[in-house]
Structure 1
Amino acid sequence: MSERGLCSRREADALIERGWVRVNGVAVSELGVRVAPDVAIELDPRGRASQAERVTILIHKPVGYVSAQPEDGHPAAVSLVVPDKLAPGDPRRFERRHLKGLAPAGRLDIDSTGLLVMTQDGRIARQLIGDDTKIAKEYLVRVEGTLTREGLALLNHGLSLDDRPLRPAQVAWQNKDQLRFILKE
């Protein structure tokens, strides 16, 4: 289900436990079973309704907040999600359940500011940060000093994160003290 983009693995487990998943018309009860690509997977209407209730919230994360769990005295970005911060004129009501299971789809470091997507929906998270995502992430980075042409070429082809090589990036000068990074990772 996860590989087909129907839900996350965790969400698939919950749907199966409730008896809301059928494979070729037969209810599934065993978690984690792999099926052939040509089988029909059906989701009970209650399961679809459950998915439709999930929320995704876009917030501007300021410097000093962490993307996920609070750490070292720095608050989590989810603490910014409060009723009085809804867009003016938004007819929807904030409910406490909107915070349950809300997780960042990606991360911004504590010293970074920008758009952070918080979601309860594994389908959205996978589209944004899954291994097979085609969505690019753009970062503007303030820099001091000079950067040679060779250094810029290295940034375009030699980046790593957590000791893992990254896909080639697009890095170019935005202005005299900012680089623009476009990553597909």
Structure 2
Amino acid sequence: MSDQSNDSSDSIRLSKRMTELGMCSRREADEYIERGWVKVDGVVVNVLGSRVRPGQTVTLEAPAQAAQAARVTILLNKPVSYVSAQAEKGYKPASVLIVPENHWDGDLSGQRFHPQHLRGLAPAGRLDIDSVGLLVLTQDGRVAKTLIGENSNVEKEYLVRVSGRLSDEGLRLLNHGLELDGEALRPAQVVWQNADQLRFILKEGKKRQIRRMCEMVGLQVVGLKRIRIGNVRLGQLPTGKWRYLASNETFD
């Protein structure tokens, strides 16, 4: 029942340290601490706001590990006219598609749908209303941190149908050299897939980033489809259908 308080200048909040270690989200960390499911150097810490030094060992008790194992991650092939998160301007959130009748019969995860899987399910990344393809919704803070955390380095791959004329210099700028919102974009990989379609591979996801990048080099996006996030591909998942992330699949 120790609070493991530590006033050392290099100490940090235990919940923050847990997220840095990739153990869980901040919200989950606070829950585990309150429940007495966290140990620091072998001693239970159950007081919110407790601090630890970087060298101390943080571990999760069995109930926390079981809670994490029960959390699901869902892969959806999002259709046009659905928003990624909260409903807006009359458009429905993509989460309304996570119902038993839309569960893909090609799902090999072995998971069976349970209403509990909808609790706390949230998108880990966005696809705008007019874009389609792979959208990840998860209950697991570790997955969310991997995909959208501040230091995320996971690739996202898109097929982008465009109209307009793209010069060699424009293609070079798409790969590296553009700015959005006053910030230089990270290097991308952009190549022609066919006569009217580009393949984009990005490691960031600013709002409507690809569409805005294309506009800056004189292109208009006609269609945009996300086909991969990290090691996970959209594959044969039909539009509007969803499946569970299998236990042997990881994004990084």
Shared fold, TM over 0.5: yes
Cα distance in 2 between the residues matched to 1:23 and 1:33: 10
Contact 1:159 1:168 survives alignment (8 Å): no
**Deviation for aligned residue 1:172:** 1.1
Quote how far apart the aligned CAs of 1:120 are.
0.4
Matching of residue 67 in structure 1 with residue 95 in structure 2: no
Worse-matched range after superposition: 84-93 or 132-141: 84-93
For 1:162 and 1:78, the matched residues in 2 are separated by 29
**Which of 56, 62, 70 is 1:39 aligned to?**
56
User: For residue 22 of structure 2, what is the aligned residue in structure 1?
Assistant: 5
Candidates 94, 111, 117, aligned match of 2:113 = 94
Instruction: Tell me, yes or no, if structure 1 residue 154 matches structure 2 residue 166.
Output: no
**Rounded Cα–Cα distance in structure 1 between residues aligned with 2:130 and 2:94:** 13
Take 1:63 and 1:89, find their aligned partners in 2: how far apart are those partners?
22
1:23-172 matches, cutoff 5 A: 23-88=40-105, 92-161=111-180, 163-172=182-191
Shift of 1:40: 1.0
Amino acid at match of 2:87: P
Q: Which moved more, 1:161-170 or 1:104-113?
A: 161-170
Of 203, 207, 221, the match for 1:184: 203
SS at the partner of 2:52?
coil
Is contact 1:56–1:119 with CA below 8 Å preserved after alignment?
yes
Provide the identity percentage: 63
Unmatched runs of 5 consecutive residues or more in structure 2? 1-17, 205-252
Q: Which runs of 5+ in 1 are unaligned?
A: none
Kindly tell me the number of residue pairs found equivalent between the two proteins: 185
1:19 to 31, 36, 44: 36
Aligned-partner Cα distance in 2 for 1:76–1:161:
26
What value does the CA root-mean-square deviation take over the aligned residues? 1.7
Q: Distance in 2 between matches of 1:112 and 1:54?
A: 27
Show CA shifts across 1:129-177 (max 9, x none). 2232332001111110111111111111134455543211111111111
Contact 1:143/1:177 (<8 A) preserved = yes
- Cα distance in 1, alignment partners of residues 182 and 84 from structure 2: 21
Inter-partner Cα distance in structure 2 for 1:147 and 1:26 = 61
Distance 2:55 2:140 in 1: 25
The letter for the 2-side match of 1:113 is V
Deviates more, 1:112-121 or 1:151-160: 151-160
What secondary structure, in the 3-state scheme, does the structure 1 residue paired with 2:193 have?
strand
Cα distance in structure 2, aligned partners of 1:84 and 1:76: 17
> Are the structure 2 counterparts of residues 111 and 173 from structure 1 closer, same or farther at C-alpha, using a change threshold of 3 Å?
same
Q: Secondary structure at the match of 2:19?
A: coil
- Do the aligned partners of 1:20 and 1:47 also contact (CA within 8 Å) in 2? yes
CA shift, 1:12, in A, is 0.5
Please report the TM-score for the alignment, with normalisation by the length of structure 2. Answer: 0.69
